[in-house]
Structure formats: C-alpha cells, structure tokens
Amino acid sequence: MSKGCELLSKGLKHKFKGLEHKISRGKKYFSSRGKLFFVKDKINKNAIFFFLLYFFRTFAPQMKRFIILTIFCTFASLLKTSAEKWYSLEQPNNGYFNHVDGAFTAGTTGLGFDLAFPLKNWGRLRVGGVWRPRGKYSDTYAVHMDNPEAYWGQFSAFASTFVGVKPEKYIEMEGKSSMNHFKMLIDIFPIKNHRNFHVTVGFFWGTHDYVTATNTPISSNTIAAIKTYNTIRQKALNNEDIDLSFIGINMQSEDAQEIKQKLYNKLIEMGEVSIPLGEKTDENGLTHVVNATINDKDVIEVKATVNRFKPYIGAGYEIPITKDKRTTIGVDAGILIWGGKPKVKVFEGLSNVAGQNTPGYLRSADKYPVYPEASIRISQRIW
C-alpha cells in the first residue's frame, strides 16, 4: 500500500518535474524572445483594468479625483519592477557625468530642452532652458461719464479739437504673457535599482514681468482725450489760467477770457471722465470705484511681476520607447514656487472687475502663490 503510494507520488513528482522543466523551458523560450512580460503583465494589466473600471464607476462625476487615482494606480503597478522589464531603464555606471542625454520638453512652462548627466546611481542633473510662446489676451473697459446722454457729443467735440480724433466709448487693453527660464534640476531616484520614478528638486531662473498689458495704440487717442479733458477740467476747478498762445490766442483779451470762462463752466458741468476698473472695499467697509491710472507716458499699464528665482519641486516617471533603451519618454509634474505672491498692482484687492476677458490668473493673481508645471519629455542618449 505504502509502496504503491510512494510509486504514485514518485510518478507524480516525475510528472511535475517534467512540467516544471517545461515551464522553465517555456520561460526561457518566452524571455529569450523578449515577450515574457506580456504573459506576466497580463495579471498587472487586468488589475489595472479592474481598478480603472471600479474607479470610473465610483468617481466618474469627480473626474479630477479619478485622474489622480488612475495615475497613482498606473505608477503603483509599474513601480514593482525588475531589471528585465521592458519599461526598466539602463543603470548607469557608478560615476558622475559619464553619459549625456539630450531632451526636448513641452509643458505648462513652454517648450524647452535639457541636457542630463548621471550623478552616480542615485541621481541625475538636468540643465536646460524653457521658453513659453507669448500668450495674448485683449479686453475692453468702458469709458465712464456721469451723464453721457447729455455730454458725450460735447466731450467728443472737445477731443476733436484738442486731440484731432473722436474718442471711443471704450478702451481696449492688450496683454502679453511670456515666460523664459533657465532651469537646473536634480532628479533623485528614491527606489534602489529603479530609474523610472524620480523626485525632482531645483530651480528655474528667468522672467520677472510675466504679464504686461497696455492699451492698444488706437485707444491711445481716447486716453489722450480723457487726460487732456481732465487736465483742463482740473485747471477749471482750481480756477488756474490756461495758456493758448501757441495757437495764437491772447488769453489777456476780454473775448478770450469770456470764452475761457464759458469753457471752464462747461467742463465743470460735464464732470470727470474716467475708466473704471473695478470696486474696492476700504477698512471702513465702504465700497468705492477704482479708476485706471494713466501714467506719465499716457499709457494704461498692467504688470504682473514675480521673483526671477523660482524653486521647483516635483516628481516624474520615465519609460524607454526604443529596444536599445536609449530613447525615453517621461512625464514630470510639480510646482514652481513664485517666492511670494505675484504682484499685480492694478487689480490687487479689486472686486467686480469691469473687463470680462481679463484672464483669471491676472485678475486674482495674488491668490496663486505657485505655478503648476506639467511636462512631457522625450530624451535621447547621446553618449
């Protein structure tokens, strides 16, 4: 009985051994073709699929959380790795600067390039530049007058005389945003023998005025008209003299004095002409209108400024896209720290901003102390 059992178990063992042998041969067969990962990864793929399905069903209305979880799951499944995996990256020799990779990047800070050098097996130095093409916006702000029905025509006649063109009922602002940066980043590989995932620290150095907006040249006429009108009206309020001798009018004559007084009375009656930007509540809780300031060059100017030196912190993931693993594609995500809130003097603390098309990042720039950076990077080993 026992012998019989032994024989049976031996036979089974033998059979199992044969099977094991076959499996190991199969493994070799598959791995020698470089296709084993398909077999192995089926489990992983299924896992990811069910994860995605589950989260899609649960979180479909909250897409943001869904996207975050998807990325997390993908990373988590890929993190568990070995050197054989198709997505694993070459381990560099244990030295500094013994390779150079050249890379193109595209992302929220613009188009760029970098050169990357290994720092032993724990890190990598990336040095490069990034340039965001100019973004543009345009917006209009209405010209305000207390009683336009009665006085706009008269204001227009005033402008035709003193500026040579009729004013428009609005002014147009044109904004340009640009970002040009030098960058120096250190990628740290926190997981031993695994270079796919990295944490990045470093800095960007560059742009100071990241948004500059001015009125359009055509609107300069309206602005000149408003400034001239308000300048002369101020003289009227202060009862100062006006010098028109350059157009041959002798202001000492009785006629000239009479015309001047009529003009002054008219200007005071018509009231101030302004360009309201928004409303501001002061410390007493009173809301008052904030008007655009025309600078000494007769320009309305809005500037958003940030520190030139911007620390960066982020993380990234990279996989090879060629069999020789010399070409890779990666994603990086992180934050650029402005180093203090952006300064936008004009819109600071304003509510009910008049322009409808002024971008949110400018209207309420002081609410964003960081700039999100997300980029794709294609890299090629040079040597």
Partner 1 sequence: MVKKHIISLISCMLLTTPTMAEGKFHRFLTTQSVSDRKWFNHIDVAGTIGTSGLGFDIAFPMSEWAQLRIGGAWMPYLHFDPSFGIEVAENLPKDIQGSKFNKIADEMQSILGTRPELNVKMEGDASMSNFKCLVDIFPIKKNRNFHVTVGFYYGNTDFITAAVSPYSMRNMTAIGALNSLYKKALSDKTASVIDAEGMGITIPEGVSFENTNKKLREWGETGKTVKNRDDLYGKEVENKLHSENAFSVAIGHYSHNIVAKEDIYYDYSAELDNPYNEQIGTDNQGNPVYREVRYQLDENGRPIVKGGIRYHKGELMHKSGDPIRMAPDENNQISVSGRGWWKFKPYIGVGYSVPITKDKRTTLGIDAGITIWGGTPAIDVKVPLGQDAAGNAVYNTINLVKDAKSMPNSVDKYVKLVKLLPVMPEISIRIAQRLW
Q: Which residues bind partner 1 (CB under 8 A)?
A: 104, 111, 133-134, 153-154, 156-158, 160-165, 214-218, 220-221, 224, 227-228, 230-232, 242-250, 255, 258-259, 262-263, 266, 296-299, 321-324, 326-327, 380
Shortest spacing between CB 222 and partner 1, in angstroms: 10
Closest to 176 (Cα-Cα) out of 133, 207, 140, 135: 135
Task: Give the whole-angstrom CA distance, residue 382 versus residue 115.
Answer: 10
Task: Give the whole-angstrom CA distance, residue 183 versus residue 3.
Answer: 76
Shortest spacing between CB 280 and partner 1, in angstroms: 25
Number of Cβ atoms within 10 Å of the Cβ of 373? 21
At 329 the three-state DSSP class reads: strand
Shortest spacing between CB 262 and partner 1, in angstroms: 5
By beta-carbon proximity to partner 1, the closer residue of 199 and 299 is 299
By beta-carbon proximity to partner 1, the closer residue of 235 and 280 is 235
By beta-carbon proximity to partner 1, the closer residue of 69 and 213 is 213
By beta-carbon proximity to partner 1, the closer residue of 44 and 154 is 154
By beta-carbon proximity to partner 1, the closer residue of 74 and 180 is 180
Shortest spacing between CB 170 and partner 1, in angstroms: 15
Half-sphere exposure of 181 (CA within 13 A, CB side): 33
Phi-psi region of 287 (alpha: psi -120 to 50; beta: other; left: phi over 0): beta
By beta-carbon proximity to partner 1, the closer residue of 249 and 313 is 249
Q: Would you call 366 exposed, middle or buried from its count of C-beta atoms within 10 A (0-12, 13-18, 19+)? A: middle
Task: Give the whole-angstrom CA distance, residue 59 versus residue 21.
Answer: 46
The two counts, helices (H) then strands (E), for the chain are: 7, 15
Task: Give the whole-angstrom CA distance, residue 303 versus residue 177.
Answer: 10
Shortest spacing between CB 270 and partner 1, in angstroms: 9
By beta-carbon proximity to partner 1, the closer residue of 24 and 322 is 322
By beta-carbon proximity to partner 1, the closer residue of 94 and 293 is 293
Shortest spacing between CB 265 and partner 1, in angstroms: 9
Shortest spacing between CB 326 and partner 1, in angstroms: 5
- In 20-169, where do the E strands start and end? 101-107, 110-119, 123-142, 144-145
Backbone angles phi, psi at 359, to 5 degrees: -60, 150
Shortest spacing between CB 152 and partner 1, in angstroms: 11
